[in-house]
């Protein structure tokens, strides 16, 4: 007969075998799903959520074209698209009378006021879809009044006018807000050289330059300033500003490939009497092409480069052999080889999308570098020099973007006045991982190498300063709608911790504190939400689990997380993404590929740790 200790050890072994068996099964399901979702070119485009905010802005843009340029409107089925969008919005209102950014989002004042504006502007003009009862709309009116209306919109964004001014502008076009409540944007500053923008203290973030120009011109035409000298200056530079707007418009017509930004530009130019401008024609083509079949619009065309690098970095050596060369060639083709006309960024970076409306940034560039280096291990030696050069160019681009505080911003160096232009911990950590990979895997092979040591030291000093007392780092472009201030400490902390693990600093005080935080907020079910006492999600559970498994600690917590994750996969929840993404200030979205990519990375790491 076995002793108690032998029995306990046998039970532990049997339990571990059962867990690893379930883990292997779930991991196989993930890999199968990846193969189903890839396109003919072997990469992944993903699919962004439908957005009530995007739909409302697209409808208003097309409505303004119908009002101001009948000939252009006649080239497209705008009436059908508007009616379909209105019908989709009537079906997706929340019970409280408001709309969230996605169909899974809680109501917010910004989206609800935009939707109220288009129902008011289009009432009775586009068929039965826009004919709603006064009682039905009164529920929305009460939600807006209760939430705070204009004051609530301004409070939500503070000094950042990137989104508050466009929202109120659309409402003013609809007549639900007076033009006096719409702030004048200094569009005249767009006439300055691009490298002066960071000194100009613009009231919008760097990627919102098209909105600053178009909305600024509209406000000037609708309600010019009483100060004559300033009025004359704006009259003088309007045509130059519009030329800048035309110059930075990508061939697809969509600024940043974003429906809201492109819509705000379109409706503003139409309202300003510029409906015949070439920008409007190209932007309208983009909006028509971007519509979903159900009548809605997403926030962006796709995140193809981002989700593809997430997928490669999740599967690593388990990526099918037949995809390796195609993915490598595709990723190398996405690297920018010339100065970007929008942000004036140097060559060497990657954007989130393969389309021309993308802009190189400091999150997608490290993701691409890490993915390319993983693919490099599986191709012939005669490709290595080409790959190393691309990686080196990407690293040089990252180094040129590092801010004075040691961190990395998203798009433009030095634009630190507004939140979405400042250095952020998660992007900084991603850049540090790429620099470390270059230093260890590429630099020794390069004839003209350079050191990243100083930049990395400054980057980690930035992270140390940004860490909260509870061990948390907060991300910039991700949040959780159920957490305090929409924060997502699980995303930020788990992403930053990987930089410490990669650089063999997992035992330093900052990493230890972060590790303790992640362990402390695991829910009793075994999963994680974005913060303390928030509902579990596949995305956030996977992020925490991947990091803990990479650190090879807390096997009991890893096992509980694995079992929760396997339960969700068995229940088919991989196809049920959670809105954790931020876009265009605080615009929520979810992405079809996120649960799959994050879960695959977590399960792969957990397999290695538990075995």
DSSP, residue by residue, 318-354 = GS-HHHHHHHHHHHHHHS--S--TTT-PPTT-B-SSS
- DSSP H or E stretch at residue 582: strand 581-583
Q: Is 520 helix (H, G, I), strand (E, B) or coil?
A: helix
Structure tokens at 6: 């032998």
Closest by Cα among 297, 217, 315, 216 to 257:
297
Q: What is the pTM of this model?
A: 0.93
Which helix (H) or strand (E) segment holds residue 12: the answer is: helix 4-37
First to last CA, the chain: 28
Compute the distance between CA of residue 19 and CA of residue 104 in angstroms, rounded to an integer. 32
311 or 157, greater pLDDT:
311
Residue of 338, 325, 333 whose CA lies nearest to 305: 333
Residue 513 backbone phi and psi in degrees, to 5 = -65, -40
Q: At what angle do helices 161-174 and 209-222 cross, to 10 degrees?
A: 40
Question: Phi first, then psi: what are they for 65, rounded to 5°?
Answer: -65, -45
Task: Report the Cα 575 to chain-centroid distance in Å.
Answer: 19
**pLDDT-based confidence at 341, cuts 50/70/90?**
confident
Residues 445-488 have pLDDT tens digits of 887 778 899 999 999 999 999 999 999 999 999 999 999 999 99
Read off φ and ψ for residue 424, nearest 5 degrees: -135, 150
557-582 mean pLDDT: 94
pLDDT, mean over the chain: 91
From residue 321, give the alpha-carbon distance in Å to each of 31, 122, 303, 311, 312.
13, 53, 24, 14, 12
Looking at residue 2, its pLDDT comes to 44
CATH 3.30.360.10 fits 50-298, yes or no: no
User: DSSP label at 300?
Assistant: B
Domain ranges in the chain are 15-39+467-611, 50-298, 303-466
pLDDT at 192: 74
Average pLDDT over residues 55-80: 97
The pLDDT value given to residue 126: 81
Query: Residue 309's closest CA among 358, 259, 260, 363?
Result: 363
Tokens coding 453 = 């040591």
Helix (H) / strand (E) containing 164: helix 161-174
Looking at residue 104, its pLDDT comes to 95
What is the CATH topology of the domain spanning 303-466? Glycosyltransferase (1.50.10)
Residue with tokens 């009682």: 135
Q: Quick check: helix, strand or coil at residue 588? A: strand
Q: What is the mean pLDDT of residues 345-374?
A: 95
For domain 15-39+467-611, say whether CATH 1.10.3720.10 is its number: no
What residues form DSSP beta bridges with 350? 361
Residue 13: pLDDT band with limits 50, 70, 90? low
pLDDT at 203: 58
Q: What is the pLDDT of residue 258?
A: 95
Q: Which residue has the tokens 């920018």?
A: 336
Statement: residue 132 has pLDDT above 70: no
Which residue from 568, 565, 562 is spatially nearest to 549, judged by alpha carbons?
Answer: 562
Q: Given this model, what pLDDT does residue 12 score?
A: 67
Least confidently predicted of 138-152, 235-249, 385-399, 406-420: 406-420
Rounded Cα distance between 574 and 30, Å, is 8
- Rounded to an integer, what distance in angstroms lies between the CA atom of residue 598 and that of residue 535? 17
Contact 296, 54 (CB under 8 A): yes
């Amino acid at each position: 007969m076995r002793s108690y200790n032998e029995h306990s050890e046998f039970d532990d072994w049997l339990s571990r075998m059962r867990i690893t068996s379930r883990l292997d099964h779930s991991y196989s399901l993930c890999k199968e799903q990846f193969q189903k979702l890839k396109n003919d070119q072997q990469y992944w485009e993903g699919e962004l959520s439908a957005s009530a905010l995007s739909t409302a802005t697209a409808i208003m843009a097309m409505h303004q074209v119908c009002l101001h340029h009948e000939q252009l409107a006649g080239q497209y089925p705008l009436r059908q698209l508007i009616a379909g969008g209105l019908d989709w919005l009537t079906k997706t209102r929340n019970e409280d009378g408001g709309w969230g950014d996605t169909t899974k989002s809680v109501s917010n004042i910004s989206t609800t006021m935009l939707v109220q504006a288009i129902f008011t502007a289009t009432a009775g003009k586009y068929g039965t879809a826009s004919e709603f009862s006064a009682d039905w709309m009164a529920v929305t009116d009460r939600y807006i009044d209760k939430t705070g209306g204009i004051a609530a919109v301004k409070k939500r964004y503070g000094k950042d006018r990137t989104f508050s001014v466009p929202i109120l502008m659309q409402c003013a076009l609809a007549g639900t807000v007076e033009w006096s409540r719409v702030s004048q944007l200094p569009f005249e500053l767009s006439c300055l050289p691009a490298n002066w923008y960071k000194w100009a203290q613009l009231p919008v973030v760097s990627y919102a330059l098209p909105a600053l120009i178009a909305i600024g011109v509209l406000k000037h035409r609708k309600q010019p300033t009483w100060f004559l000298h300033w009025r004359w200056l704006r009259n003088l530079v309007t045509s130059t500003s519009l030329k800048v707007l035309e110059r930075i418009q990508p061939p697809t017509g969509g600024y940043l490939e974003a429906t809201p930004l492109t819509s705000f530009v379109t409706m503003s130019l139409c309202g300003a009497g510029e409906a015949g401008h070439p920008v409007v024609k190209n932007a309208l083509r983009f909006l028509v092409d971007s519509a979903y079949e159900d009548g809605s619009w997403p926030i962006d065309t796709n995140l193809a480069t981002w989700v593809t690098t997430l997928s490669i970095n999740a599967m690593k050596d388990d990526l099918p052999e037949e995809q390796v060369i195609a993915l490598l060639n595709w990723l190398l083709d996405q690297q920018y080889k010339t100065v970007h006309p929008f942000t004036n960024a140097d060559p060497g970076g990657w954007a989130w999308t393969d389309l021309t409306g993308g802009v190189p940034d400091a999150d997608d560039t490290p993701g691409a570098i890490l993915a390319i280096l993983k693919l490099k291990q599986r191709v012939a030696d005669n490709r290595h020099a080409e790959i190393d050069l691309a990686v080196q160019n990407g690293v040089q681009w990252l180094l040129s973007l590092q801010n004075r505080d040691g961190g990395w911003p998203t798009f433009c160096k030095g634009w630190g006045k507004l939140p979405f232009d400042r250095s952020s911990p998660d992007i900084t950590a991603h850049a540090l991982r790429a620099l470390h990979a270059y230093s260890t895997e590429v630099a020794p092979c390069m004839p003209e190498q350079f050191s990243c040591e100083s930049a990395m030291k400054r980057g980690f000093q930035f992270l140390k300063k940004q860490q909260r007392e509870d061990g948390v780092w907060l991300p910039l472009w991700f949040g959780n709608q159920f957490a305090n201030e929409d924060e997502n400490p699980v995303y930020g902390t788990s992403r930053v911790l990987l930089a410490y693990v990669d650089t063999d600093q997992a035992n330093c005080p900052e990493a230890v504190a972060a590790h303790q935080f992640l362990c402390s907020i695991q829910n009793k079910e075994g999963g994680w939400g974005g913060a303390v006492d928030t509902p579990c999600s596949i995305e956030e559970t996977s992020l925490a689990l991947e990091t803990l498994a990479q650190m090879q600690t807390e096997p009991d917590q890893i096992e509980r997380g694995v079992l929760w994750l396997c339960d969700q996969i068995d229940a088919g929840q991989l196809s049920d993404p959670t809105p954790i993404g931020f876009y265009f200030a605080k615009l929520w979205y979810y992405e079809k590929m996120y649960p799959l990519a994050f879960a695959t990375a977590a399960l792969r790491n957990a397999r290695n740790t538990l075995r």
